[in-house]
A = this chain, B = another copy of it.
Amino acid sequence: MDQIEERLLEEVADLHGVPEGAYNIRANGQMAGRNTTANIDIATKTDKPGIDIRIKPGTKHESVHIPVVLSASGLKEVVYNDFYIGDDADVVIVAGCGIHNCGVQDSEHDGIHRFFVGRNAKVKYVEKHYGEGEGTGKRILNPGTEVYMEENSLMEMEMVQIRGVDSTIRTNKAQLAAGAKLLVRERLLTHGDQTAESVYDVELNGDDSSADVVSRSVAKDRSRQVFKSNIIGNAKCSGHTECDAIIMDDAKIVAVPGLVADNIDAALIHEAAIGKIAGEQIIKLMTLGLTEEEAEAQIVNGFLK
């Protein structure tokens, strides 16, 4: 890998070189490295682009990294990655895609990730998206996740896209069996003329299942964001969804969290708030010696932490 690719890898997977444990690195549409372990197998799909990741039941404290980097302009790909997580496993999965586009053609990576989470399994999933490059070609990412959670499983999803992606539609679905718990933390920053749409559809199908979907976003310049989060309560369950957004400059934000209660024992809550940074906050930081821009940046960073 060249320097650009290494930097992208650092941005999306916090990796300085090759990770520990199982990994599959995809660079410009090709496999650039793979490692499997005794408990985690990675196999190339034979019917379409993508990989199958199989994690044995009871696997504890192991991790899988599957970063993707694109540095060639004009590359468009759709990749299907399926994760089979065995019962009682406890693992960390780090995905993410970095695009460096200095060309005139659009670059696009659409990663469709399916998770089959076994009983009592715990998964922490981190997905980071990042774009850079001075070219006029667009950097487009349309990630999708489908999460199927068996009894008493736990899934934490950290979905991050800070800067650089021109256009994204993020589609996320989850179905929860009894006792399963889903936590989603989305952080998003758009600028320039970027557009970002996030869609979450969470079905709470089993008794005592629960979901907490929280999005924090900042829209700068002329960027446009849409946040749609639906929580459907089909059992004795609890669901919470929240969208807090900071609007700046000439940006536009649409937030449409939806609740569907189809069971008397479903307890569902959502909240959303859109507003600009309070003037007092900026003034306070400016009295400490920061410029207005620095103060704004400080507040935005804190909000997205």
Residues of chain A touching chain B, judged by Cβ–Cβ distance below 8 Å, are 233, 245, 247-276
Q: Is the CB of A259 within 8 A of B270?
A: no
Question: CB < 8 Å: which of B256, B261, B276 contacts A247?
Answer: B261
Instruction: Assess A265 versus B276: contact at CB under 8 Å? Given A270-B271, A271-B271.
Output: yes
Instruction: Assess A258 versus B254: contact at CB under 8 Å? Given A272-B270, A275-B268, A276-B264.
Output: yes
Task: Enumerate 28 A-B pairs (CB-CB under 8 Å) in ascending A order.
Answer: A247-B261, A247-B263, A247-B264, A247-B266, A248-B264, A249-B264, A252-B261, A253-B259, A253-B260, A254-B258, A255-B258, A256-B257, A256-B258, A257-B257, A257-B272, A259-B272, A259-B274, A264-B276, A266-B274, A266-B275, A267-B276, A268-B272, A268-B273, A268-B274, A270-B270, A270-B271, A270-B272, A271-B272
Q: Is the CB of A251 within 8 A of B264?
A: yes
| Least distance between A267 CB and chain B CB atoms (Å) | 4
A254 contact set on B, CB distance < 8 A: 258-261
Shortest 6 CB-CB contacts between residues of A and residues of B = A256-B258, A267-B275, A261-B274, A255-B259, A269-B273, A268-B274
